[in-house]
Amino acid sequence: MQRLAIGKATSCDTDQDSLVIGSDQVCVIDDKIVGKPLDRENAIKQLLAQSGKTITFYTGLAVHNTATNHTEVGFDTFEVHFRDLTLEQIERYVDREEPFYCAGSFKSEGMGICLFNKLAGKDPNTLVGLPLIDLIDMLQKQGFEVL
């Protein structure tokens, strides 16, 4: 995920001096990377596999300075503890939110929060794909003052 974040941050073609942000995220359950489900059937399968378990998100982050060609790189982790869910609960959730293009088959910023009994990590923004606390640190290292 760090490699993809770097690729995103450094692929911007610009003549201006800029700071370009790239991020990428993977979801891991039972030591396997879980991709985006892409359809209803796969979303239901993923959520059934996650029911009652803890999954981990790894989010890579890169800030590329086009003026200096320097890239700050890092990553953050975030754990999601799932409730024990029934097939009916999962189907209702998937039909309501259609999380087909979301890592882990849920949208934590919406009804997906109902699927969890605990969240653990230093920055809740990591779960939606952009660890803002780390981003602020990286921007400051590049000389950009956020405040």
Among the listed residues 13, 15, 17, 24, the single catalytic one is 24
Tell me how far CA of residue 98 lies from CA of 38, 92, 121, in angstroms.
9, 10, 25
Strand segments (E) across the chain: 19-29, 32-34, 54-65, 70-82, 116-120
Active site residue 24: yes
Residue 140 Cα to chain centre, angstroms: 22
* DSSP state letter for 121: S
**Could you list the active site residues?**
24
